Structure 1
Amino acid sequence: MFSKLLLSLKIKLGKTTREELSVKACIQRGMKVGENCHGLASSTIDYAHCWLIEIGDKVTFAPQVYLLAHDASTKRHLDYTKIAKIKIKDNVFIGARAFIMPGITIGENSIVAAGSIVTKSVPEGSVVAGNPARIISKTKDYIDKHKEGLEEAKIYDSSWTIGENITKEMCITMSKELDCSLGYVK
């Protein structure tokens, strides 16, 4: 049934990738997405309850984030599935393969580390990590630590990225230079 829906939406929307189709279909069904959001197309969105998902402005999703607005663990015993909103406030970064459970609010200016399973709401300005995700620092402290790190670390401009066609030689150089240290790329 889902593949038929995707096909019918693809026909209506024209030439669109499956990822773009998913986001557009969710928005059409009521998911709210703010301005300047990035990476949502590479996420898995709970299409069955996407209207319960609200995403603020300037939110970045790393690859393979999972947004789940329902939990069927109660279905067998109670004959009901739990459902709840997911609210992601402004200026949030969610790392690769993070899993956001139903009923979660992620406060403004927060960071969710890669691979985290978020089972409790995240206060504004917090960095969370782990399974289950726990607060590990304040966002300000995390950023200040990395500002200090910029002073001693190897810095690369945007020419050192795939988007700017980094060369094989540059890849080898970067790999050698970062053998035992942290660097930053623009």
Structure 2
Amino acid sequence: MNIHSLSDVKSTSIGKGTNIWQFVVVLKGAVIGENCNICANTLIENDVIIGNNVTVKSGVYIWDGVELEDNVFIGPCVTFTNDKIPRSKIYPDKFLKIKVKKGASIGANATILPGVTIGEMAMVGAGSVVTKDVPAYAVVVGNPAKVIRWMSQDE
């Protein structure tokens, strides 16, 4: 495990071979697997689970309730949300979950709304706004994101 000296990592649940780069904040309750790459300027809150071999590019904030399974790719500046009706100083009893299943990829600047599951090996195009579940092996793009094709299991 390699943690850059200019990061603030409170969690002790970080797997071997994981790299955490500069200006990353990881809160105490977060769980990060093995061989992950957490790039600069990233925030990971307490109720977050990140599997093995996950790449999180720069400028990503992973809020409470997000789970990234193994081999997931999160592009730069992807936005996760966890509150459907956000108000200043008014918090829900429980934040909605987001699950990104094994091998899925999310392109740069995509926005993922609360309560969504992105299926295994699915691909979310850059800049897309995901408002509902994405099926396994689907490629989705747009606002709102819609299926444009299906990938084979070999892709």
Q: TM-score, normalised by structure 1?
A: 0.57
> Max radius of gyration: which structure?
1
Matched, 1:116 2:133: no
Aligned-residue Cα RMSD (Å) equals 2.9
Q: Cα 1:70–1:142, aligned 2, differ >3 Å: closer, same or farther? A: farther
For residues 3-24 of structure 1, the C-alpha deviation after alignment (integer angstroms, 9 at most, x for no partner) is xxxxxx93868xx7222x2xx2
Matched, 1:84 2:96: yes
Consecutive unaligned residues in structure 1, runs of 5 or more: 1-8, 144-186
Q: Cα 1:103–1:12, aligned 2, differ >3 Å: closer, same or farther? A: closer
Aligned position for 2:42: none
Consecutive unaligned residues in structure 2, runs of 5 or more: 1-6, 12-20, 32-45
For residues 60-109 of structure 1, the C-alpha deviation after alignment (integer angstroms, 9 at most, x for no partner) is 11110111111225x59xx7748310000000110000000100000001
Residues 1-186 of structure 1 mapped to structure 2, 5 A cutoff: 10=8, 17-19=22-24, 21=25, 24-25=26-27, 27=30, 29-46=46-63, 50=64, 52-73=65-86, 75=87, 81=92, 83-140=95-152, 143=155
For residues 116-146 of structure 1, the C-alpha deviation after alignment (integer angstroms, 9 at most, x for no partner) is 0000000111000000001111022994xxx
Aligned length: 123
> 2:48·2:62 contact (CA, 8 Å) conserved in 1?
no
CA–CA separation in structure 2 for the residues paired with 1:11 and 1:83: 23
Identity %: 34
Identify which range, 133-142 or 35-44, moves more after superposition.
Answer: 133-142
* Structure number having the greater helix percentage: 1
Q: TM-score, normalised by structure 2?
A: 0.68
Q: Cα 1:126–1:12, aligned 2, differ >3 Å: closer, same or farther? A: closer
> 2:75·2:106 contact (CA, 8 Å) conserved in 1?
yes
